[in-house]
Amino acid sequence: MFLCQNLEHEGSSIIAFCLSADCQEPKSQFSFNCLINPQKHQNCRIDCKPFDKIDTLLDLILYKLDKMLEQTDQKFELLKLEYEKTIKIIQQEQQRFYEIIKNLKEQKYQEFLDNIGKIKNWNTIMKSTQFEKELLISG
Ligand SMILES: [Zn+2]
Ligand SMILES: [Zn+2]
């Protein structure tokens, strides 16, 4: 059995726990005799919870954790949508460049010129990042 460890009332059964993070008492558990001593848990009376109150608190914590799971799931769904959108944009861009390459190979210069703005944009992007710079120079 779990008993009070205060010397003055050692052996009294525990009726509650102090749940204050700032509690100065060496032990969190306390007995009825601890409770009637105004010296003990002076600044944390509100956090001294009997078992049924602790039950309620634990239920609330579980509920809160459930909500956090739900919110995290929702965030993930949003990220997933964002991810799928980005992938689609990149793939569409790839597709257009396959066509541009094909046009150039087949000497369809008018079609190539129709996309020159896009190639110019990419030329700027490529010049601005070190990795691609090296790729262009070595290639
Ligand atoms: Zn006690
Ligand atoms: Zn306390």
* 41 φ/ψ sector (left φ>0, alpha ψ -120 to 50, else beta): left
Taking the CA of 14 as reference, the closest ligand is: 1
Whether pLDDT at 53 is above 70: yes
Whether pLDDT at 129 is above 70: yes
Q: pLDDT tens-digit profile of 104-117?
A: 999 999 999 999 99
- State the distance from the centre of ligand 2 to the C-alpha of 58, rounded, in angstroms: 18
- State the distance from the centre of ligand 2 to the C-alpha of 62, rounded, in angstroms: 23
Q: pLDDT tens-digit profile of 61-100?
A: 999 999 999 999 999 999 999 999 999 999 999 999 999 9
- State the distance from the centre of ligand 2 to the C-alpha of 133, rounded, in angstroms: 64
- State the distance from the centre of ligand 1 to the C-alpha of 39, rounded, in angstroms: 12
Position 133 confidence tier, pLDDT thresholds 50, 70, 90: low
- Amino acid identity of 83? Y
Taking the CA of 37 as reference, the closest ligand is: 1
Q: Which residue has the tokens 């052996």?
A: 11
Q: What pLDDT is recorded for position 36?
A: 84
Taking the CA of 5 as reference, the closest ligand is: 1
Whether pLDDT at 139 is above 60: no
Q: What pLDDT is recorded for position 134?
A: 66
Whether pLDDT at 132 is above 70: no
Q: Which residues of 58-93 are buried (b: 16+ CB within 10 A; e: fewer)?
A: eeeeeeeeeeeeeeeeeeeeeeeeeeeeeeeeeeee
- State the distance from the centre of ligand 2 to the C-alpha of 65, rounded, in angstroms: 25
Q: pLDDT tens-digit profile of 11-35?
A: 888 889 999 999 988 888 888 888 8
